[in-house]
Amino acid sequence: MKKAYMRIQQAGYILMSTILLVGSAPAADWPQFLGPNRDGAAAESEPMVKGFAFSGVKFRWKHPVGTGFAGPVVVGDRVILFHRINDQAIVECVDAATGTEEWRYTYSNAFKDSFGFDNGPRACPTVAQGKVIIHGAEGTVQALDLTTGKRLWGFDTVKELNSPQGFFGRVCAPLVTEGKVIMEAGGANGKGAAGLIALSLDDGRVLWQCLKDEASYAAPILKRGGGASFPAIVAWMRNDLVVVNALDGGVKFQQKLRSDADASVNGATPIWCGEDKLFLSACYDVGASLWQWKPEGKLTRLWQKEDVLDAHYSTPVHYDGYLYGFHGRQEFGQSLRCVRAQDGKVMWESGRVAGGTLLRVRDTLLVLTEAGELWLVDASPTKFNRRGQEQILRGGHRSHGAFSNGVFFARDDRQVVAVDLRPREE
């Protein structure tokens, strides 16, 4: 009887979680890193992206920002920006239609990148239940009121959990589920290991902590769709691939998956290929792999290959059985590739580019290169077809963009731009 009751209780948690997620993220929002479902795909209700008009790019607005790699997020008529100017970390809320600032929150920030690369924040904000959750490169997690920008609570992962800086600072984009803010802290304290933690969305208290592992540069995700007996979190930590119960932090699966080289990172976030297949990719001789999900939370590797789709920092996207993403180390040059998910067969690749990020709007890939170009590419395995290319930003940047209501939002180290891609006639 007890086991039957637990199964019913777990099913109720999953149903309620689904209702909360759907209810808190309207179809056209881009409320977190990699979009509504954290998979790089815009809502299917978004309009088709036809291409650029003969007059070129139509900028809705441009807004100045400072340093950092935290991309914009969009909820309703608000765009949330996270950046740094001098010794101040800045969270801004601007109007999605005009780019006009509605509120601003700042705090002192002394973070210094070990390689002198960039001292700004890395992690995209997450908006959930009227709160903006930010995670600075210095390790501070804070919740702000979405309407006013007022600080609601804060948690210092360095002070409380001895979170290490790592190579490039803390970069985990907060994941909100079950009333919890899930974070990779990579630390420990008197209560034990704290590689992965859950903070209360209400007040920032630690609700559970688990895993003796370091934080990676890949964000945690939720199990998508059915086929799980508990609300599951999948996280690719620095050393291990893990599955954790969101309710209590119980570890359901853990397997070592990292490079033998110490100077390496897992930078691309895992993505679902349908409901029961998980794709992972990294450079540094790790390669790409496809995993089968089991209802009890186990993962079984179906295939693993190198030189197929080795993602350095940019997360690929999945569409209709195929994966699209940047292959290769950024410093050596990359190419955009299409790979068949079932077996890793390379279908096509573009010419060599410096690197970039991408997202999907229905059957179109919006590719933002490190040269500051926006490409419109068909999400089709038939051939590489770039049907549009326009300069929208300065070169040398690698933030992920956002897409909401037909508008593409992207940034470099000086400005955020809103590019209107809704169909229009000349």
Q: Per-residue pLDDT for the chain (426 aa), expressed as one digit of tens each?
A: 334 434 434 444 444 433 334 333 445 899 999 999 999 999 999 988 988 877 788 999 999 999 999 999 999 999 999 999 999 999 999 999 999 999 999 999 988 887 777 888 999 999 999 999 999 999 999 999 999 999 999 999 999 999 998 877 899 999 999 999 999 999 999 999 999 999 999 999 999 999 999 999 999 999 977 778 899 999 999 999 999 999 999 999 999 999 888 878 889 999 999 999 999 999 999 999 999 999 899 999 999 999 999 999 999 999 999 999 999 988 788 999 999 999 999 999 998 988 999 999 999 999 999 999 999 999 999 999 999 999 999 998 889 999 999 999 999 999 999 999 988 754
In a domain, 393, yes or no: yes
Residues 6+ apart with CB under 8 A from 345: 339
65 within domain boundaries: yes
In a domain, 142, yes or no: yes
Cα gap 225→247, rounded to integer Å: 18
Per-residue pLDDT, 257: 95
Domain that holds residue 110: 2-420
CATH number of the domain where residue 14 is located: 2.130.10.10
**Scanning the structure block, which residue is given the tokens 């691939």?**
241
Instruction: Flag whether 67 is in a domain.
Output: yes
Tens-place pLDDT, residues 185-242 = 999 999 999 999 999 999 999 999 999 999 999 999 999 777 788 999 999 999 999 9
Q: What is the mean pLDDT of the chain?
A: 91
Domain count of the fold of the chain: 1
pLDDT per residue as tens digits for the range 91-121: 999 999 999 999 999 999 988 887 777 888 9
Any domain includes 259: yes
Residue 425 falls within a domain, yes or no?
Answer: no
pLDDT value for 76: 96
43 is a domain residue: yes
Q: Would you say residue 98 lies in a domain?
A: yes
pLDDT at 425: 56
pLDDT at 28: 87
Residue 5 φ/ψ, nearest 5 degrees: -65, -40
Distances from the Cα of 220 to the Cαs of 135, 137, 176, 266, 422, in angstroms? 14, 17, 10, 12, 31
